[in-house]
Amino acid sequence: MIEARDLTKDYGSKRAVDGLSFTVRPGIVTGFLGPNGSGKSTTMRLILGLDAPTRGDVTVNGSDYREHAAPLHEVGALLEARSVHTGRSAHNHLLALAQTHGIPKRRVSELIDLVGLHEVARKRSGKFSLGMGQRLGIAQALLGDPKTVMLDEPVNGLDPEGIHWMRNLLKGLAAEGRTVFVSSHLMSEMALTADHLIVIGRGKLIADTSVDDFVSRASQKVVVVRSPELESLRAALAGPDVSFEPAERGALEVHGLTAEQVGDAAAAAGIVLHELTPRQASLEEAFMNLTRDEVEFAAELQEVVA
């Protein structure tokens, strides 16, 4: 369980996180979504007590992260930026962290095997590929068998097999009753993994909703029809919430009606249809629509500054 109340962080005159309040619940995967630079990583650093909030506060499993007697058992975190000494082996890196909590050495080997780093565990981690670095970060996050797992862009640098593995892992962790909080800038990835979404843009909360709600709200009703009698069809479909746009190859895009409604109306009017295709706005489009204002504002601002 992660609870943020009015969480705010300024770096100099720049406000990176702006009055965020949200709750991340156990037992489900919560996606933390936002464009790059929207404050996701900063929020995660605030949760871990690495940065101090300018205003507001955040607790993990009921108390300030710094107050936990055994933080690695409370939260396992993978941060976006590399957080391993490049001259140290994966094994020694994990061992040093395990030792702070008296976690036995065999747990280190167990996690190294789990993430598939067995063969390179004794090599300097500076030579790791991005994907290997991510796996080491995941081993680190899971080292203390934590109640809450918080991962910043965990699929970055993973191959398709690794991404699949990651999805299963996250779902499994949530099914065990853990709190799972995963950031991403990719809506499509979140749609496959997450149950709940917290969306931010420029440090502000944009949406706190279930993935299903987000998807249904985001998918506008658009139907593409082709017919030799387009003019009659227009007349038959016309209504206050309905609008039309010409589409490719003489087709017509109908906004505001479902495919069923269009088909029924055409049949009732005796109009022949050659095509009737419901079109859903992709999740990526929905996400872009939702965050567009924030991103555009940032782009304009950059132009002004430049």
Give yes or no for residue 101 binding other proteins (CB under 8 A).
Answer: yes
Residue 207: both structure tokens together: 């949406």
Residues 187-206 that bind other proteins (CB under 8 A): none
Among 150, 178, 146, smallest CA distance to 71 is for 146
Residues 149-178 that bind other proteins (CB under 8 A): 161-162, 164-165, 168-169, 171-173, 176
Cβ(51)–Cβ(45) below 8 Å? yes
Minimum Å distance from CB 277 to other proteins? Answer: 33
Minimum Å distance from CB 97 to other proteins? Answer: 5
Strand ranges, E, within 48-193: 55-60, 75-78, 148-152, 179-184
CA–CA separation, 34 and 16 (whole Å) = 13
Which of helix, strand or coil describes residue 90? helix
Q: What is the dihedral of CA 27, 289, 285, 283, to 10 degrees?
A: 20
Minimum Å distance from CB 284 to other proteins? Answer: 24
Give yes or no for residue 134 binding other proteins (CB under 8 A).
Answer: no
Give yes or no for residue 25 binding other proteins (CB under 8 A).
Answer: no
**Of the residues 17, 33, 45, 194, which one makes contact with other proteins according to CB under 8 A:** 45
Residues 72-91 that bind other proteins (CB under 8 A): 72-73, 75, 77, 79, 81-89
Give yes or no for residue 102 binding other proteins (CB under 8 A).
Answer: yes
Give yes or no for residue 52 binding other proteins (CB under 8 A).
Answer: yes
State the Cα angle at 270 between 280 and 233, rounded to 5°. Answer: 50
Which of helix, strand or coil describes residue 35? coil
**Of the residues 93, 185, 196, 226, which one makes contact with other proteins according to CB under 8 A:** 93
Give yes or no for residue 5 binding other proteins (CB under 8 A).
Answer: no
Minimum Å distance from CB 35 to other proteins? Answer: 23
Question: What is the pairing mode between strands 75-78 and 148-152?
Answer: parallel
Cβ(3)–Cβ(59) below 8 Å? yes
Give yes or no for residue 26 binding other proteins (CB under 8 A).
Answer: no
CA–CA separation, 117 and 28 (whole Å) = 28
**Of the residues 2, 20, 103, 271, which one makes contact with other proteins according to CB under 8 A:** 103
* Strands across the sheet containing 179-184: 75-78, 148-152, 179-184, 29-33, 196-201, 204-210
Binding residues for other proteins, total number by CB under 8 A: 56
Indicate the residue among 88 and 234 with the shorter CB distance to other proteins.
88
Cβ(38)–Cβ(16) below 8 Å? no
Question: Which residues of this protein are in contact with other proteins, per CB under 8 A?
Answer: 45, 48-52, 65-66, 68-73, 75, 77, 79, 81-89, 92-93, 95-97, 99-104, 107, 110, 114-116, 140, 142, 144-145, 161-162, 164-165, 168-169, 171-173, 176
